[in-house]
Amino acid sequence: MRRACWVLVLVLLVGSLAVSFGSIGAASKWTGTIQVWDFPRPDAAAEWELQAFKEFEELHPGVKIEYTKLTWAGGNEKLDVSVAAGQPPDICGSGLRLPYVLQGALEPIDDFLTAEDLKDFHEGSLNAVKLNGKYWGWPWYNTLYTMYLNADIFNEREVPLPKNGEWTYDEFLSAMQKLTFDRDGDGKIDVYGFGFTFQPTYLQPFGIIYAEGGRILDIDKNEFVLDSPEAVAGIQRLYDMVWKHKCALPNAGGLTTTDVNNAFLNTRSIAAFVDTTGIISSFATHNKKVEAGEIEGEKINLVTAQYPKGTNGLPIAAGPGVGSWAVFKQKDPAKREVVMELAKYITRGEGQKEVVPLIGVFPSRKSAGNVWAGDKNLQHIVPAVEYAVYPPMHPNWNKIDDKIMRELQLAVLNEKTIDAALKEAKRQVERLLNY
């Protein structure tokens, strides 16, 4: 009887030890399938991604990656429906959306960010994924706007291109005025210097507002600051270009971003506009095809420039945000660790060095180096990158953005004074600030 008891105790001891060791072993070696979703990238970048997934699978035997390509049209809806139905992917590129953070659908990455990571990421990149004191995605690349100039129109009007893509506001304005002209002498303006509009989520004209220190929100104080004198001066500049100097596409505010793009690319009726750097490679392809005689049409002789500098002489850049990899809530901590590792692997510095130029954007890590050094077009933007301003990370930003843009539309359409528009925007936004 006694012996039997001892045996039993021994068996229990050994058994529990084995079980606990076993679970430790399992924790470090999770195996299974990771659901990866991403929006479509340019072909070369997409190939790079698939290669990276393969490498990760090799580094982690037993881990399988199932990749789903989302679409830009309808992709957000697909993601939304899946998240709302409680069936999100494990990880998603460009999947960091504010409502997901608020609804607790994402994992904060803070515990997986090493001190090195914190030092390596650009501050702006990290701030763009920070909400309520935590980081919610692995920054992959920074999307920035650049000013595109049609060099042919500059030459036609004998307007010098800005040296190194840098100019002051006065230089910019006088260039735009000279570039506004009646080509065929019928008394109607054929080409305008600048083209812009205000549309929710498209922050293209805001570089002009940021230049003198204007900002939309003060995140730390949770305040609306677009009515500060600096910001108002910037809005006034945009307004004046339309109404006083008449050197910007009329009906700004009533146009969509697509209309402005069309005016520059297709009808060639504006000499300058702002868009993301990501479209540059498409121009190169277009020109190559024209040269090779594959397609009819005119080459587009493109030059990039920074936003006009502020009076403090510092460059300014603006961007619509940071592309990042967001990890969705994981029940199994062992799996969470592996998924985080995957995110980290995709967004590592050496990786960015390769893939970021393929997307036409800027790296989020300093260790990726200056990927655009020597690039004819984007080297102009590089000095401004560290001054880049991204949309403020506020839980209600999407709604705030919508209210502000619609008021600014009315202001630049001269339907309302700037003052009245900002007052109304402030009234609306203040209700949204305190979430």
The residues in 279-298 that bind another protein, with binding defined as CB under 8 A, are 279, 282-283, 285-286, 289, 294-297
**With 0-12 CB in 10 A as exposed, 13-18 as middle and 19+ as buried, what is 413?**
buried
The answer to whether the CB of 347 falls within 8 A of the CB of 138 is: yes
Give Cα separations from 15 to 3, 8, 21, 22, 163 (angstroms). Answer: 18, 10, 10, 10, 75
Which residue's CB is nearer to another protein, number 206 or number 264? Answer: 264
Cα–Cα dist 225/245, whole Å:
27
Q: How far apart are the first and last CA of the chain?
A: 68
Cα–Cα dist 433/186, whole Å:
51
The residues that bridge with 32 in the sheet, in sequence order, are: 63
Among 13, 27, 59, 81, binds another protein (CB under 8 A): 81
The answer to whether the CB of 367 falls within 8 A of the CB of 349 is: yes
Q: Least distance in Å: CB of 2 to another protein?
A: 53
Cα–Cα dist 325/336, whole Å:
14
The answer to whether the CB of 159 falls within 8 A of the CB of 178 is: yes
Which residue's CB is nearer to another protein, number 168 or number 262? Answer: 262
Angle at 229 between CA 228 and CA 230, to 5 degrees: 90
The answer to whether the CB of 367 falls within 8 A of the CB of 74 is: no
Q: Can residue 395 be called a binding residue for another protein (CB under 8 A)?
A: no
Among 44, 151, 161, 278, binds another protein (CB under 8 A): 278
Rounded to 5 degrees, φ, ψ at 11 are: -60, -45
Among 16, 31, 68, 222, binds another protein (CB under 8 A): 68
Among 57, 76, 245, 349, binds another protein (CB under 8 A): 76
Which residue's CB is nearer to another protein, number 113 or number 432? Answer: 432
Q: Can residue 199 be called a binding residue for another protein (CB under 8 A)?
A: yes
Q: Can residue 131 be called a binding residue for another protein (CB under 8 A)?
A: no
Cα–Cα dist 261/289, whole Å:
20
Which residue's CB is nearer to another protein, number 211 or number 326? Answer: 326
Q: Can residue 31 be called a binding residue for another protein (CB under 8 A)?
A: no
Binding residues for another protein, rule CB under 8 A, total: 71
Q: Can residue 83 be called a binding residue for another protein (CB under 8 A)?
A: yes
The answer to whether the CB of 68 falls within 8 A of the CB of 93 is: no
**With 0-12 CB in 10 A as exposed, 13-18 as middle and 19+ as buried, what is 211?**
buried
Among 128, 131, 300, 346, binds another protein (CB under 8 A): 300
Cα–Cα dist 227/230, whole Å:
8
Q: Considering only 21-29, 152-160, 272-280, 331-339, which stretch makes contact with another protein by CB under 8 A?
A: 272-280
Q: Least distance in Å: CB of 409 to another protein?
A: 4
Which residue's CB is nearer to another protein, number 144 or number 305? Answer: 144
Token reading at 82:
């899946």
Among 48, 53, 56, 100, binds another protein (CB under 8 A): 100
Q: Considering only 163-171, 209-217, 247-255, 341-349, which stretch makes contact with another protein by CB under 8 A?
A: 247-255
Q: How many residues does the chain have?
A: 435
The residues that bridge with 305 in the sheet, in sequence order, are: 147
Which residue's CB is nearer to another protein, number 32 or number 297? Answer: 297
Among 33, 258, 311, 417, binds another protein (CB under 8 A): 258
Q: Can residue 266 be called a binding residue for another protein (CB under 8 A)?
A: yes
Among 22, 99, 229, 369, binds another protein (CB under 8 A): 99
Among 96, 109, 179, 255, binds another protein (CB under 8 A): 255
Q: Can residue 85 be called a binding residue for another protein (CB under 8 A)?
A: yes
Which residue's CB is nearer to another protein, number 82 or number 370? Answer: 82
DSSP assignment letter at 376: T
Among 127, 168, 236, 269, binds another protein (CB under 8 A): 269
Q: Can residue 105 be called a binding residue for another protein (CB under 8 A)?
A: yes
Q: Can residue 34 be called a binding residue for another protein (CB under 8 A)?
A: no
